[in-house]
Structure 1
Amino acid sequence: MSEIVNVNTQNFETLLQSDLPVLVDFWAPWCGPCRTVSPIVDELAVELAGRVLVAKCNVDENQDIAMRYRVMSIPTLIVLKNGAEAGRTVGAMPKPQLRAEIEKYL
């Protein structure tokens, strides 16, 4: 099973240096659509293990990271390659559609 990294200001820069693409799920505990997407992201972390590193960023606790990536609404999922944004999805979507969006950047 792939480990999901909980992002914070202390580990975020290290995460950007990953050889694998990084999928960052920007979420908050009070966000209903985030609670819908979260288990899908967990499943994709397992299914795409070895191809992508999955991280979750609580925007309430890490506002500086959310602002850095101009996250205006949640859930927002951003794929980072070599430390730069490669792709972004906003809002809840079905698992097959989300997987297809992520795989474009792998």
Structure 2
Amino acid sequence: MAIVNVSDAEFQNTVREGLVLVDFWAPWCGPCKIIAPILEELSGSIGDAVTIAKVNVDDNPESAGRYGIMSIPTLKLFKDGVDVATYVGVRPLAELEAAVKAHL
């Protein structure tokens, strides 16, 4: 499954079913640029099991505020609408894969 860009208006609908990994990011964020290809690789390896969604915090401050995003990149894992895990900063592919698989 491809990585999807999500707005404040779409956020709740996007995370309400299944497993969704949300990347809170911004275009000016250096570490966000580092994690982007890791998320692409994750999508390629287990994208059928998880939806990967990107939320630009500059364009969508409501979602970032609702979940207390204080630094980016922050990744949040949702299972059927419930926030089950948070990862702040760049994480290696193996860690993210293990985290997703733990919630399948």
Q: Distance in 2 between matches of 1:64 and 1:91?
A: 20
Could you tell me whether the CA contact under 8 Å between 2:72 and 2:89 is conserved in 1? yes
- SS at 1:80 equivalent: strand
Q: Which runs of 5+ in 2 are unaligned?
A: none
- SS at 2:97 equivalent: helix
Could you tell me whether the CA contact under 8 Å between 1:8 and 1:57 is conserved in 2? yes
Could you tell me whether the CA contact under 8 Å between 1:87 and 1:105 is conserved in 2? no
More helix by share: 2
Q: Distance in 2 between matches of 1:101 and 1:37?
A: 15
Q: TM-score, normalised by structure 1?
A: 0.90
**Aligned pairs, number:** 104
Q: Which runs of 5+ in 1 are unaligned?
A: none
- Pairwise CA RMSD of aligned residues? 1.2
- SS at 1:77 equivalent: strand
Counterpart mapping for 1:20-31 below 5 A: 20-31=18-29
User: Aligned residue for 1:98?
Assistant: 96
Q: Percent identity?
A: 44
Q: Distance in 1 between matches of 2:78 and 2:96?
A: 15
How big is the shift at 1:105?
2.2
Q: TM-score, normalised by structure 2?
A: 0.91
Q: Distance in 2 between matches of 1:27 and 1:12?
A: 14
Q: Distance in 1 between matches of 2:54 and 2:96?
A: 16
